[in-house]
Chains A and B, each alone.
Chain A
């Protein structure tokens, strides 16, 4: 599970964000963010609307000035550099293609600013156009292109100057759902081919999970967790992250048994204690939350053999979602447990499971090791 993190750690740090804050006349849009971005990785900033993602990205690009903290690219402080002096390029959410220039000239624009020789510019333009498979459209104007094609051109333009850092603001924001999934993989392929370090911003967790090597969860200006998609999903460090990424069963409770090898947590939602098969840092009586993902919850008509971590309930609702179904099970306490069952299992499952339907009395259960304890 910790593998991607280790792999990233062996790499060089490309960008350091140290204690960066941004204060907009009293509203703290970005609050003391510390973050290292490694060379060649795709990093996604993920968070709800208005949490400060764009502001952080714009500070990297130089469009906003941090109120505090510093930004170092390959060890060099960016504070004194204007946007046009920074060796990073940004792809805008609206693509911001220059409407009065052809695709070719759009891409050449940045190269011309560097006074690159004409032939070299032509070669580079052809190269990046090839990269995004848009050679045939070089002479077109942006308004003669479809949304997906415009996105490719915008990507090509931001890659043309071989930036040390590529910034993507909601790269899929302007595309429809079907095109989105296709472009996600395609963009990742292109970025990996180029090997550019990339920081992207998105509010779509699926997009962040598919595209990024590591994600950073932002909430109200604070970077609350950083890790590989798997880490933040499997080991969320706070209630906020657990609830933001995917759906989760969150049991509020307090620590009642604190032993070296195991702990027990009592929750008002459950009749018996939650048993966790490892020790945690804490003291008895401490308020905690336990997060269990719906796909970790088993559902059966007969009482499972295990001693702990089970509860009786009534199936209140079944949501059929194609590949899996989500059962809403109401416990005697009124708490609703979500249990996700893959539909391939459902097909071949024993008669007993197949018969589980609305209003049935069932048992939900989970193994001792799959619950995550949350302190905050």
Chain B
């Protein structure tokens, strides 16, 4: 009696938590199929807002800009972040290592407003002194996003490198591969899951960023969050609902695919391990 009551309570709390997290999103998606112009009044099923969304030139352009910036930032953040992590983990014992390590992760805790403002000031003064980057636009957003995404990538790759058995690299070195080959043939493939994870993280962070982009963007480089934000200020259009529904679906399916791949790999690994154990017993 008592325990079933307890069980009901814990289920209730769980349901409440999930509702708190997901009801707004579900409502948002449901209303993206609303026929009415008013976001809060249901008047029938329709796909017309999706049609309007795809014919909204400005919105589509912002999607394009955001995707391009996210792709470029994620890629360069992975390259730079991996290099930084490599220096931190493998080239131990140089002067100022602690300072370097803490400085590289500073953007993680820095308020975005400050990061954005400081980068804006940097670009303005760079423009004054060396005439580059020549006004604000995609390039400046790209650089800004690379800066703060790199910190995240560094943290992810750093932990993977740390848990990698260093004798693997030594073994490759011992077998005749020079340091460059060791990096590309051994280190990189082994930490590649971390690179993929870091890239995906950087991609979503860049796609998501509003504050920093607002500081360093220029005319013609409006990102999706900026576009949505400004359009919402003029009144919520069900178009935004349709856009959000698409984004949520996209991200959810990406996450699901990632989870599924990882689970499959883990299952296979366990099965292999079992098989190897059985074999050892037979030998």
Contacts and interface: CB of A to CB of B under 8 A. Distances in A.
9 contacts: A63-B173, A83-B170, A83-B174, A92-B167, A92-B171, A93-B167, A110-B175, A141-B272, A148-B280
Nearest to A109: B175
B277 A94 contact: no
A306 interface: no
A90 interface: yes
B168 A96 contact: yes
Interface string B255-283: 00000000000000100110111011001
Contact of A94 (B165, B181, B190, B280): B165
A161 B175 contact: yes
A84 B280 contact: no
A89 interface: yes
A98 B186 contact: yes
- Which DSSP category, helix, strand, loop or mixed, fits chain B's interface? helix
B280 A149 contact: yes
Interface string B149-178: 000000000000000010110111111111
B250 interface: no
A328 interface: no
Contact of A146 (B170, B171, B190, B276): B276
A143 B273 CA distance: 7
Contacts of A89: 174-175
A100 B178 contact: no
Given A82-B173, A98-B190, 9 more contacts: A83-B174, A85-B176, A94-B165, A109-B177, A113-B177, A144-B272, A145-B276, A146-B277, A147-B280
B276 A161 contact: no
A61 interface: yes
B280 A110 contact: no
A279 interface: no
A90 B174 contact: yes
Contacts of A110: 175-176
A153 B32 CA distance: 59
B175 A157 contact: yes
B176 A96 contact: no
A118 to B, nearest CB: 17
B64 interface: no
Interface in A1-18: none
Contact of A98 (B168, B181, B273, B275): B168
Interface in A57-112: 61, 63, 82-85, 89-90, 92-94, 96, 98-100, 109-110
Contacts of B174: 61, 83-84, 89-90
A352 interface: no
Interface in B220-257: none
A141 B268 CA distance: 12
B170 A63 contact: yes
Given A83-B170, A110-B175, A99 B190 contact: yes
Interface residues of B, number: 26
A190 B67 CA distance: 59
A89 B176 CA distance: 9
A163 to B, nearest CB: 9
Interface of B: 165, 167-168, 170-178, 181, 185-186, 189-190, 269, 272-273, 275-277, 279-280, 283
* Band of interface residues on A: 20 to 34
A-B complex: 10 closest residue pairs judged by Cβ atoms: A110-B175, A146-B280, A113-B176, A96-B171, A96-B167, A144-B272, A92-B167, A83-B173, A100-B189, A146-B276
A255 B183 CA distance: 63
Contacts of A109: 172, 175, 177, 185
A351 interface: no
A90 B171 contact: yes
A180 to B, nearest CB: 14
Contacts of A161: 175-176
Contacts of A149: 276, 279-280
A123 interface: no
Contacts of B165: 94, 96
B279 A146 contact: yes
B173 A84 contact: yes
B129 to A, nearest CB: 44
B56 to A, nearest CB: 46
A145 B276 CA distance: 5
Given A84-B173, A98-B186, A114-B176, A148 B272 contact: no
A154 to B, nearest CB: 9
B175 A113 contact: yes
A92 B168 CA distance: 9
A98 B173 CA distance: 12
Contacts of B269: 143
A5 B275 CA distance: 46
Contacts of B190: 98-100
Contacts of A94: 165, 167
Contacts of B168: 96, 98-99
A100 B269 CA distance: 13
Interface in A308-345: none
A155 to B, nearest CB: 13
Nearest to A99: B190
Nearest to B185: A109
Interface in A126-173: 141, 143-149, 157, 161
Contacts of B167: 92-94, 96
A148 B283 contact: yes
B82 to A, nearest CB: 17
